[in-house]
Amino acid sequence: MAPALRMTRNLKEKLPIFFKATDWVVYAPLTGYFLITLFTGWVAYYLHNRPTGFRERWETLNIADHLALFRHSNFLDASEGSGIATRESMVTQLGISSAREDTSAQPSGTVKWWYGFQEVDEDNNLKLSSRFSTFLPPYDDQDTTVRELSKLRYNSVFGIMRSSAALRYSIIAFVCLVGYILALAFANPHIKVFKIDVSPNLTAFILGYVVTYVFSLFSFFWEEMYLFAAITERFVGMNKPEGADADQALLLNYTGSPRFITMFGAASRGHWKGVRTGVYATLQRSLPIIVGASIKIFPLADYQSEVQFSTPLSIIVIVFMVVYLVIIPYEVFEAGYSRHLPRDCLTIADLLSWTCSSSILRKNTIALNDGQLEEKLPPTNPLDTRSDAPHNENGTWRRASA
C-alpha cells in the first residue's frame, strides 16, 4: 500500500519531524476497504443458512466426497471415453444434460437406496439408464496415436508452473534487486537521501504505489503456487508406480482447511511442496509492507522531492529478491511432470471422466455418504486406509494412464 503519510522537515532550522497526510492516498484505501466490507457483508448474508441439499456436516472437500455422490449414477455413462477429451468436446457432450441431487432407488445390486446425482429428463424425472451413447457423437479424441496419447497424459498444468511464468517473475525479481542496490549506491552515503525534480504527489504515486504494487505481484505468484500444490498433491502419489494410500490421495483435503492446519498436515505426510509454498506465501505478505516502510518522501518544493531509503529495510528487501531468484525457478521446475494432468482439474466432470470406468464407482465400493466417511468405511472398502485395496497388493491407489 502506498504510504498515506509523508515526512516533512526543515534541515536548516532543524525543526522536529512532523507528518502530513496525502489526501488521495488516504481516500483510496478507505474507499477500497469500504467496498470490501460491503461485499463481505453481502456474501455473508447471501450464504447464511443457504441449503446445499447435502446431509449435515457433509462437505465435498476431497475426491472421495465427490465420487460418493455419483457411485450409482447413470450420469457416469456420459463420461465414458472423455479421459483425454478436449474441454470444448466435453461442453458439447454434457451441455444438454441435466442432473438432480436426490435420494434414488437402485434397480439392481445390494444397495436399494442411495443419495447422489442422477440424470433427469425434460420433465425433471429421474432416468434409470443413460441415453448418451445412443445418439450423441463420440468425444473428440483427435484421432490420437499411442505416442500422442502418452503426451496428452501430461498435457495440462497451471500457468504459474510454466517456464514463461518462471522467467517473467525472475526478471521482476532481478529488476527489483538491481533497483534497490542502485538506490543505496547512488544516495548520500550517510543518510541514504537523494533529491529528484519531481512533485511530491507524483513521487508518492511512483515510489509509494507503483513500486509497492510491483512487489505485491509476488503475492499472486506464491498464492497461485500454494493453491496448485494443494490441488495437485492428491494426484502425485497416484502417479508413482507403487501408488498411494487413500489418505494420501482420495481422502486428501488441502483446500478446505486454514493454511497453517493444511501446512501441518502436509508436513506430517511428507508433502513438502505444500509446506514450502505455504511458508513462501505467508512470508510474502510482509514484503509490500516492508517496501512501503523502506521509502520516505520529503517534499522540498512544488516540483522537488527528497527520497530516503531505510538501509536495514532495504537490505531485507534485497535478501528477499536474492532468495526469490533461486526458489522461483526451483519451485516451477522441480516437480517435473508429476503434477501434470490430461486437463486442468476444474470441475466435477473432470474427476468423473478419469474415474467413470473404475470399479470404485461401478461396484458397490462406497456405501456411505456422511461426514464420517473415512471412519465408517467397512474393512473391505478400498477407501479404507486400514486395509488393502483390491486393486493392488500393497493397498494403494494408482492414477490410470490416459
How do the pLDDT tens digits run along the chain, 402 residues long?
444 444 444 444 444 555 566 677 788 889 999 999 999 999 999 988 777 766 666 667 788 888 877 777 777 777 777 777 777 777 777 765 665 555 554 544 444 555 566 665 555 444 544 433 333 444 454 566 666 666 677 777 888 899 999 999 999 999 999 999 998 887 766 667 888 888 888 888 898 889 999 999 999 999 999 999 999 998 887 877 777 788 888 888 898 889 999 999 999 999 999 999 999 999 999 999 999 999 988 888 888 888 889 999 999 999 999 999 999 999 999 988 888 888 777 788 888 888 877 777 766 544 444 444 444 444 333 333 332 333 344 445 455 443
Read off φ and ψ for residue 350, nearest 5 degrees. -65, -45
Return the residue matching grid coordinates 470404485: 360
Q: Which long-range contacts (CB under 8 A, 24 or more apart) does 95-100 make?
A: 97/132, 98/124, 99/73, 99/75, 100/124, 100/126
Nearest to 66 by CA among 314, 294, 351, 302: 351
What is the Cα–Cα distance from 308 to 298, expressed in whole angstroms?
8
How many C-beta atoms lie closer than 10 Å to residue 270's C-beta?
8
In sequence order, the β-bridge partners of residue 193 are 308
Cα-based angle 261, 267, 270 (whole degrees, multiple of 5): 145
Identity of residue 317: V
Sequence-separated (6 or more) residues with CB below 8 Å from residue 287:
215, 216, 218, 219, 317, 320
**125-160 pLDDT, tens per residue?**
445 444 333 334 444 545 666 666 666 777 778 888
Nearest to 248 by CA among 58, 62, 60: 62
What is the Cα–Cα distance from 71 to 381, expressed in whole angstroms?
13
Residue 294's pLDDT is 92
What is the Cα–Cα distance from 199 to 203, expressed in whole angstroms?
6
Cβ atoms 296, 308 nearer than 8 A: yes
How many C-beta atoms lie closer than 10 Å to residue 65's C-beta?
20
End-to-end CA distance of the chain: 47
Cβ atoms 215, 176 nearer than 8 A: yes
Residue 278's pLDDT is 96
Cβ atoms 8, 21 nearer than 8 A: no
Identity of residue 102: D
Identity of residue 80: E
Sequence-separated (6 or more) residues with CB below 8 Å from residue 116:
68, 69, 70, 71, 72, 73, 101, 102, 104, 369
Residue 350's pLDDT is 83
Entry pTM: 0.74
Sequence-separated (6 or more) residues with CB below 8 Å from residue 197:
303, 304
Residue 157's pLDDT is 83
DSSP three-state, residue 191:
coil
